[in-house]
Amino acid sequence: MSEIINLCQGHYSLTVYDERACSNTQNFEISSPPPIVFDIQKSDIMCNDSCLGKITLSIPNRDIYGVEWNNGDTSLELKNLCSGAYFVLVKDTFGCLSRKDITINQSYKPTIQLDVMPAGCKGECIGSAKLVNNNQKNKILWS
């Protein structure tokens, strides 16, 4: 038998004998493929009711990897994403897979709670409105 298969990671040796009973031994190692390494950058959605999220992969040695997203796309960047869960599978030339899950989050519009007082009954301009739940970081524009 000139081939041995289904070897796990480890150290092995092969000894070959000829017809005169002379031998030669060769040691060898079966190693595991290097780990699949990649980075993910994401951009969450800044305001609700929009689908402007983005996910970008950075993969060193891109030529030895294949990429597939849960939506079937095979590019390194997904754009115009709505909020939700996404995942990517990266496959190397050995058939090893690495999966990463990514969530595109959505921030929401500021809530507005007003205390409104009516104008005067004789056309007087004494009405008012007060923003009750103001976050001091919010910019306020009255019109």
Residues 6+ positions from 141 with CB-CB distance below 8 Å: none
Confidence grade of residue 84 (pLDDT, cut at 50, 70, 90):
very high
Q: Give the model confidence (pLDDT) of 21-54 as tens digits.
A: 999 999 999 998 888 889 999 999 987 778 999 9
pTM of the model as a whole = 0.64
Helix ranges (H only) for the chain are none
Any idea which residue has 């041995």 for tokens?
Answer: 4
